[in-house]
Every structure is written in C-alpha cells, then in structure tokens.
C-alpha cells in the first residue's frame, strides 16, 4: 500500500495550486485526476487566454450563503501574489478591462507554469486515475484507487463544480462531502447564457452575432457591459453576470441606452430633427438591422414629429427598460460556474479543513463560493488552494 502526506483529488486550478504550495513546504503530495489532462478548464478559460485574476478582487465579488467565509483566504493570497508567480515565469499578460488580467498568448502559459511549479516541488501527478472509495481510518484516509490503496493523513477535495461535464466535471466532491456528514447546498448553473422562446427567440435569432453595450438588471443587481444576441437567446458578459442572480420566471431589465435618459433623449431628438424616421435615429445608435427590427416590431417607424407624448414615453420605456423573460439557461452544458455546493459553515475559513472530519479539506469551486465574471473564480481557486496547502 502507498502512503503519502497529502492526497489531492482534482488537478484543476485549486488542486494544482494546493499541490505546488504544499510540496514546496516539503510535503509529499499525490495529485490525482480522472481526466487525461490536468487543468482542462484553465485551457478553455477566457476564450483561450485565461482571465487568471482580477486586480480588484474583493469579497463582494463572490456569492455564498456565508459571505464572510472567503475573506480570510482572499486576504492571505491576493491577486498580487499570483501576478508575482506569473511574472516569475515571464508569462506575458495585460489588463483587458475592469481589472481583468488575461494572457497575451494562450491559457496554456498558465497551465504550464503551474505544472512546472508542481514538477520542481516534486508533486506526483496521476492522470486517468479513478478514486473508487474513501474510508476514514485512525491515521487519516484510505483511498481505493486505480493505483491501488493509498493512505494519507490529509485528503483535499478539489474536484470543482458541475459545469461542463465534457471537461471532466462530476458531482464527486459533493458525494464525498455528504459521506462525511456535510451539507451540500442546492446547486445551479451560473455565468450562463439565457435561452428564449416565442417572439423573443425570433428576434434573438435574427440579430444573432450582434453585440450592444447595455445595462442589465435583475433582483436588485445591475451590470454595465455588452449583451450578445445568439441563435439560442442572449449571452455576452452582462447576461452571464446577471444569470447568476436570475431565477426561473424572473424578468431581466435591459437598458439599451445606458448613457442617456431615454425619454429626454427622444424628446430632444424630436425637437431637433422632427422629420427623421425613428428607425433612422436608432440606426445611428445600434446596427441598421437592429434598428429596423426594433422599430418594426415595437413601434412602427414613422417621422419623429408624428409620435404623441404618450407614444414617445412608451418607446422610451422599451429602450430604457426592456423587460425580457428568459425561457431558461443553457444549464451546466455551457455554464462557466456552479452556484451552491459544500456548505462553508462546516469548513474552517482559515484552513479549509472540515469541522466534521479532521484531515479532510475542500477547496475551489466545490465549495459554496462563486465569483462574478472577470477572473474572480480563478482567484478563489488560487487563494483557497494556497490556504489549505499551509495546513495539510
């Protein structure tokens, strides 16, 4: 039987960070993944350029039923710590917007950096390896695996959430949590495109590929970013952000004129250019196609001077506060993250260790801590992985 100081299940963002940090402390670390490759989500992330952190990371950028939980780990491993690692490896990067740091080249730069740190620190990485069973023993944990039995005093669960099963996601971490007496809070897809039906779907299909700067609001939250019309519905950064706050049946409000008060703007245009058609005016703000579609399906375009004050108010209401009720979301198939997960009230925020089963740790997305779009989810993976690595 093998024995080691630490077993980490899941060689994703959190597992790799935990492994390289614990091994650098002199711990013997076995890192196990059932996939044929480590860090598949890192490779897919940020459109292939990995948005690896956000300079403005703050606990307010995370959802959790226990909002204070993430504070300690985030304070002990900051974006600047990860940036220092990236710089040490000479990985070129840039700020795209809003503090979001992306690789200049490919996400592979980040994965290679983490794997190189693991290699230097002596982490034993085993891919294509299934863990069949886990038992608690006097000395720690006994795992039955494809590698045979493995005994370890510390076991770290870093198996992530349910999003994108084709990238290796499973509910394994939740099963282990339940096995050891933890509560798993209801999970749902987050940072996910909306699907639409009926007339709205037709509009989205016709406008497929069009991106518009908007302010999108739902359940008291607002994001000022672009939306993207797709064949299936609505996507783009503003939609992904708001999807994490949306519940089935909720309306989402889209302000298509986020820089102006829609009514004042229309009244001003009506006085300044009374003979212009509404669709001509909208064509100066949106694409021509979008202007025509909106004007035709919502207002019946005519010269501005012919709209009554009531009609103008109606148009302003549509442009400034378009109420959209999505049919649903695309679900885990395309979601970037999973909301909910292992209840953090039974986890130490200092060590990430279970309060129910000593020596068992949970890190990364498997926990009920989920970031907004913009590099926050990786920062949580790095910070929680680093925190556990100090104590395993």
Ligand X SMILES: Cc1cc2nc3c(=O)[nH]c(=O)nc-3n(C[C@H](O)[C@H](O)[C@H](O)COP(=O)(O)OP(=O)(O)OC[C@H]3O[C@@H](n4cnc5c(N)ncnc54)[C@H](O)[C@@H]3O)c2cc1C
By beta-carbon proximity to ligand X, the closer residue of 6 and 207 is 6
Under 8 Å between Cβ of 161 and 12:
no
Residue found under tokens 């992530």:
160
Sign of CA dihedral 44, 111, 12, 354: negative
Q: How far is the CB of 49 from ligand X (least distance, A)?
A: 8
112 scored as a contact of ligand X (CB under 6 A): no
Q: Which of 7, 12, 188, 194 binds ligand X (CB under 6 A)?
A: 12
41 scored as a contact of ligand X (CB under 6 A): yes
Q: Which of 246, 307, 378, 382 binds ligand X (CB under 6 A)?
A: 378
Q: How far is the CB of 249 from ligand X (least distance, A)?
A: 26
377 scored as a contact of ligand X (CB under 6 A): yes
* DSSP at 352: -
By beta-carbon proximity to ligand X, the closer residue of 166 and 308 is 166
**Own/partner pairs, 284-290, CB within 8 angstroms, 24+ separation:** 285/256, 285/257, 286/210, 286/212, 286/256, 287/210, 289/206, 289/207, 289/210, 290/207, 290/210, 290/212
Q: How far is the CB of 131 from ligand X (least distance, A)?
A: 6
Closest CA to 363 of 5, 7, 8: 8
375 scored as a contact of ligand X (CB under 6 A): yes
Sign of CA dihedral 317, 319, 320, 324: positive
* Contacting range for ligand X; rule: CB under 6 A; set: 26-34, 68-76, 212-220, 266-274: 26-34
Alpha-carbon 116 to chain mean position: 25
Alpha-carbon 140 to chain mean position: 33
Q: Which of 7, 8, 9, 22 binds ligand X (CB under 6 A)?
A: 9
Contact characters 148-187, ligand X, x per CB under 6 A = ----------xxx--xx---x-x-x---------------
Total residues interacting with ligand X, rule: CB under 6 A? 37
Q: Which of 19, 21, 22, 46 binds ligand X (CB under 6 A)?
A: 46
Q: Which residues contact 109 (CB under 8 A, 6 or more apart)?
A: 50, 89, 91, 92, 103
131 scored as a contact of ligand X (CB under 6 A): yes
Q: Which ranges of 273-329 would DSSP assign to H, the alpha helix?
A: 278-283, 288-294, 309-320
34 scored as a contact of ligand X (CB under 6 A): yes
**DSSP bridge partners of 181:** none
Structure tokens at 106: 């490919």
Q: Which of 14, 30, 134, 316 binds ligand X (CB under 6 A)?
A: 14
Q: Which of 109, 117, 353, 365 binds ligand X (CB under 6 A)?
A: 365
Q: How far is the CB of 167 from ligand X (least distance, A)?
A: 6
By beta-carbon proximity to ligand X, the closer residue of 171 and 283 is 171
Q: Which of 8, 23, 45, 215 binds ligand X (CB under 6 A)?
A: 45
* Contacting range for ligand X; rule: CB under 6 A; set: 36-44, 72-80, 134-142, 146-154: 36-44
Q: How far is 122 from 29, CA to CA, in rounded Å?
A: 8
Nearest residue relative to ligand X (C-beta): 12
Contact characters 317-356, ligand X, x per CB under 6 A = -------------------xx-------------------
Q: How far is 277 from 42, CA to CA, in rounded Å?
A: 49
Q: How far is the CB of 12 from ligand X (least distance, A)?
A: 2
Under 8 Å between Cβ of 337 and 377:
yes
Half-sphere exposure (Cβ direction) of 292: Cα atoms closer than 13 Å: 5
Q: How many CB atoms lie within 10 A of CB 119?
A: 12
Q: Footprint of ligand X on this chain (CB under 6 A)?
A: 9-15, 32-35, 40-41, 44-46, 50-51, 131, 158-160, 163-164, 168, 170, 172, 336-337, 364-366, 375-378, 381
């Amino acid at each position: 039987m093998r024995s080691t100081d630490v077993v980490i299940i899941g060689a994703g963002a959190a597992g790799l960070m935990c492994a390289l940090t614990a091994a650098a402390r002199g711990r013997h670390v076995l890192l196990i993944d059932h996939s044929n490759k480590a860090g598949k989500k890192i490779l897919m992330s940020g459109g292939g350029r990995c948005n690896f952190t956000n300079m403005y990371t703050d606990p307010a950028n995370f959802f959790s039923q226990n909002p204070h939980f993430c504070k300690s780990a985030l304070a002990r491993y900051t974006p600047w710590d990860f940036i220092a690692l990236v710089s040490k490896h000479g990985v070129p990067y840039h700020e795209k917007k809003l503090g979001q740091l992306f690789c200049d080249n490919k996400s592979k730069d980040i994965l290679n950096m983490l794997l190189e740190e693991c290699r230097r620190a002596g982490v034993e990485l085993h891919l294509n390896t299934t863990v069949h069973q886990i038992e608690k023993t006097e000395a720690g944990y006994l795992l039955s695996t494809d590698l045979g039995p493995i005994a370890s005093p510390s076991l770290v669960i870093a198996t992530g959430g349910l999003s994108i099963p084709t990238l290796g996601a499973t509910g394994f971490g939740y099963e282990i949590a339940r096995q050891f007496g933890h509560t798993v809070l209801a999970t749902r897809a987050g940072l996910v495109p909306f699907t639409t039906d009926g007339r709205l779907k037709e509009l989205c299909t016709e406008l497929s590929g069009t991106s518009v700067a908007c302010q999108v609001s739902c359940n008291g939250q607002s994001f000022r970013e672009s939306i993207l019309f797709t064949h299936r519905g609505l996507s783009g950064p503003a939609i992904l952000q708001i999807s994490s706050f949306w519940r089935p049946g909720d309306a989402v409000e889209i302000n298509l004129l986020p820089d102006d008060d829609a009514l004042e703007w229309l009244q001003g245009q009506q006085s300044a250019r009374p003979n212009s058609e509404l669709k001509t005016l909208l064509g100066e703000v949106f694409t021509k196609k979008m202007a025509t579609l909106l004007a035709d399906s919502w207002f019946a375009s005519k010269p501005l001077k012919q709209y009554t004050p009531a009609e103008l108010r109606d148009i302003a209401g549509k442009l400034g506060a378009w109420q959209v009720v999505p049919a649903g979301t695309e679900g885990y198939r395309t979601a970037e993250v999973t909301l909910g997960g292992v209840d953090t009230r039974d986890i130490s925020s200092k060590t990430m260790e279970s309060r129910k089963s000593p020596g068992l740790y949970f890190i990364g997305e498997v926990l009920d801590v989920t970031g907004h779009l913009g590099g926050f989810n990786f920062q949580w993976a790095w910070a929680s992985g680093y925190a556990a690595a100090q104590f395993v």
